[in-house]
Amino acid sequence: QVQVVESGGGLVQPGGSLRLSCAASGNIVSIYNMAWYRQAPGSQRELVARITSGGLTEYAESVKGRFTISRDNAKNTVNLQMNSLSPEDTAVYYCYADLFVRNMGRRTTWGQGTQVSVSS
């Protein structure tokens, strides 16, 4: 009864920008932590950025100064603004949500992922 869906991925040239969005829907009572992860082919899934319910943020060293994570609690969404993209950012990006679901309790949920490709 809860779903997390990413959008905004695509192909962009080096130095370009993309904005990813993640929308959670269903019988959601509240959202605790939300985060973006990414996984490149042959690599482990890694944390890109996270944001707490209070708005505190953390970033991977490789994206600091380039990526910005934000959330809209009223809309149950989390966004990732990605600037100055490089080929090393190419990966499938996944949204992670730590939720409290009505009649189910606290659950962690992953989106299906959205492809980000950075190439000239």
pLDDT, tens digit, 9 for 90 and up, residues 16-65? 999 999 999 999 999 999 999 999 999 999 999 999 999 999 999 999 99
Question: Reduced to 3 states, what is the DSSP secondary structure of residue 72?
Answer: strand
8-state DSSP, 84: S
The answer on pLDDT for 94 being more than 80 is yes
Q: Where are the beta strands (DSSP E) in 40-90?
A: 46-51, 57-59, 67-72, 77-82
Q: How far apart, in whole angstroms, are the C-alpha atoms of residue 5 and residue 61?
A: 26
Q: How confident is the model at residue 77 (pLDDT cuts 50, 70, 90)?
A: very high
- Output the six-digit token pair for 114: 């959205």
On average, the pLDDT of the chain sits at 96
For the cut 80, the answer to whether the pLDDT of residue 73 exceeds it is yes
